[in-house]
């Protein structure tokens, strides 16, 4: 690897374990507010996470799961593509409103080692960026209510959501972040939590550190440089699940050895 110049972080599942206690709760709150009898269980949501992007996930549910749930009497309502697109967009906007409220209430803390590592990178003058599928408002809410509003300036690029034509596992979002930072992939290190995320960062030729979570610990991380339980803390050792690192916690010294 060339000299490490920048760290690029995924958000959901990596900076914070936001899916089960954040996004899933917000989706169900939006369905209830809209008077829909949909309720996504923790287990069903795990299946739905195969598709990134909340709007895309709602469509995936409606095409691949809803008809089976409703049985033989189900017949899709006759709506135009534009009406369907508007319906999904409005439902997703409500979900985002609920999600940002949950972040403001402190529903989801940052994962172990994230604050420590980000502060270490800042003190070392390392550049940082975000590359996420989630909506920009959600990134703002999470960072503001965990690291403080000033933290938004610590990331010179916040590449999020619909800013690129193809979401993860496509490499678009990481290529966009590298382009905006005018950096080459071998000058950076990516941090991810899922197969889709790793396919995206790997597709942009980025070495990637994966920290698993409840929804992703059985994913295929063959292309990862390291797979960890989390980034660890001095008093809370990380577990190395794939690759080699004999440090108690992941630090810039760990990154330099890669
Ligand atoms: C995870 C996603 C997002 C969230 C939901 O993003 O796939 O779609 O699940 O957020 P990442 P939205 O791991 O890349 O951070 O509803 O705003 O899409
Ligand atoms: Mg993720």
**Helices 195-203 and 172-181 meet at what angle, rounded to 10?**
50
Instruction: Indicate whether 175 pLDDT > 90.
Output: yes
**Does one domain contain both 171 and 228?**
yes
52 lines ligand 1 (CB under 6 A): yes
Identify the domain boundary among 37, 71, 104: 104
Taking the whole predicted model, whether its pTM rises above 0.95 is answered as yes
**Does one domain contain both 249 and 139?**
yes
**Does one domain contain both 88 and 128?**
no
What is the model's pLDDT at position 233?
A: 98
Domain containing residue 141: CATH number: 3.40.50.1000
Q: Are 185 and 178 in contact (CB under 8 A)?
A: yes
Please give the tally of structural domains in the chain.
2
Ion ligand 2 contact residues with beta carbon within 5 A: 10, 12-13, 193-194, 197
Residues 6+ apart with CB under 8 A from 67: 74, 76
197 lines ligand 1 (CB under 6 A): yes
Residue 193 annotated among the catalytic residues of the structure: no
Which of 44, 53, 90, 102 has most ligand 1 atoms within 8 Å of CB, for mutation? 53
134 lines ligand 1 (CB under 6 A): yes
Q: Are 45 and 39 in contact (CB under 8 A)?
A: no
The whole domain housing 222 covers: 6-17+109-257
Phi, psi of 222 (to 5 degrees): -55, -35
23 lines ligand 1 (CB under 6 A): yes
Distance from the alpha carbon of residue 193 to the mean position of ligand 2, in angstroms: 5
What is the model's pLDDT at position 97?
A: 98
What is the model's pLDDT at position 210?
A: 99
Identify the domain boundary among 52, 84, 104: 104
Where is 42: in which H helix or E strand?
helix 42-48
* Ligand index nearest the alpha carbon of residue 131: 1
Map tokens 């709760």 to a residue: 25
Which of 50, 52, 92, 141 has most ligand 1 atoms within 8 Å of CB, for mutation? 52
Instruction: Indicate whether 153 pLDDT > 80.
Output: yes
Instruction: Indicate whether 1 pLDDT > 80.
Output: no
* Model pLDDT for residues 123-151, shown as the tens digit of each residue: 999 999 999 999 999 999 999 999 999 99
In a domain, 209, yes or no: yes
Mean pLDDT, to the nearest integer, of 184-192?
98
Map tokens 């195969």 to a residue: 50
What is the model's pLDDT at position 191?
A: 99
In a domain, 199, yes or no: yes
In a domain, 1, yes or no: no
**Does one domain contain both 96 and 181?**
no
What is the model's pLDDT at position 73?
A: 87
3-state secondary structure at position 176: helix
Residue 12 annotated among the catalytic residues of the structure: yes
* Model pLDDT for residues 214-247, shown as the tens digit of each residue: 999 999 999 999 999 999 999 999 999 999 999 9
Please give the Cα distance from 24 to 33 (Å, whole number). Answer: 14
The sign of the CA dihedral 8, 10, 16, 17 is negative
In a domain, 26, yes or no: yes
Please give the Cα distance from 91 to 187 (Å, whole number). Answer: 40
3-state secondary structure at position 170: coil
**Does one domain contain both 193 and 81?**
no
**Does one domain contain both 161 and 238?**
yes
Please give the Cα distance from 120 to 153 (Å, whole number). Answer: 16
53 lines ligand 1 (CB under 6 A): yes
Distance from the alpha carbon of residue 194 to the mean position of ligand 2, in angstroms: 6
* Residues of the chain above pLDDT 70, percent: 100
What is the model's pLDDT at position 244?
A: 97
Domain containing residue 35: CATH number: 1.10.150.240
* Model pLDDT for residues 62-93, shown as the tens digit of each residue: 999 999 999 988 888 899 999 999 999 999 99
**Does one domain contain both 121 and 244?**
yes
Please give the Cα distance from 174 to 155 (Å, whole number). Answer: 14
* Residues of the chain above pLDDT 90, percent: 96
> Within a 13 Å sphere around the CA of 209, how many CA atoms are in the beta-carbon half?
31
Identify the domain boundary among 85, 104, 123: 104
Q: Are 241 and 222 in contact (CB under 8 A)?
A: no
3-state secondary structure at position 82: helix
């Amino acid at each position: 690897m060339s000299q490490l110049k920048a760290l690029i972080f995924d958000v959901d599942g990596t900076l914070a374990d936001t899916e089960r206690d954040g996004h899933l709760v917000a989706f169900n709150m939006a369905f209830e507010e809209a008077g829909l009898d949909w309720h996504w269980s923790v287990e069903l949501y795990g299946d739905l996470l195969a598709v990134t992007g909340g709007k895309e996930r709602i469509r995936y549910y409606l095409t691949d799961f809803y008809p089976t749930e409703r049985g033989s009497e189900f017949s899709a309502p006759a709506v135009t593509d534009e009406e369907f697109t508007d319906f999904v967009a409005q439902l997703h906007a409500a979900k985002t409103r609920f999600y940002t409220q949950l972040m403001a209430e402190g529903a989801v803390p940052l994962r172990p080692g994230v604050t420590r590592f980000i502060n270490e990178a800042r003190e070392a003058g390392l550049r940082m960026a975000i590359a996420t599928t989630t909506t920009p408002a959600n990134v703002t809410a999470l960072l503001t209510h965990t690291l403080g509003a000033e933290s938004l300036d610590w990331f010179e690029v916040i590449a999020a959501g619909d800013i690129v034509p193809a979401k993860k596992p496509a490499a678009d979002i990481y290529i966009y972040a590298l382009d905006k930072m005018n950096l080459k992939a071998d000058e950076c290190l990516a941090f991810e939590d899922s197969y889709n995320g790793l396919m995206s960062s790997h597709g942009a030729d980025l070495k990637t550190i994966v920290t698993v979570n409840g929804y992703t610990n059985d994913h295929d991380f063959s292309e990862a440089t390291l797979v960890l339980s989390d980034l660890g803390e001095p008093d809370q050792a990380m577990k190395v699940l794939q690759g080699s690192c004999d440090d108690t916690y992941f630090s810039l010294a760990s990154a330099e050895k890669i």
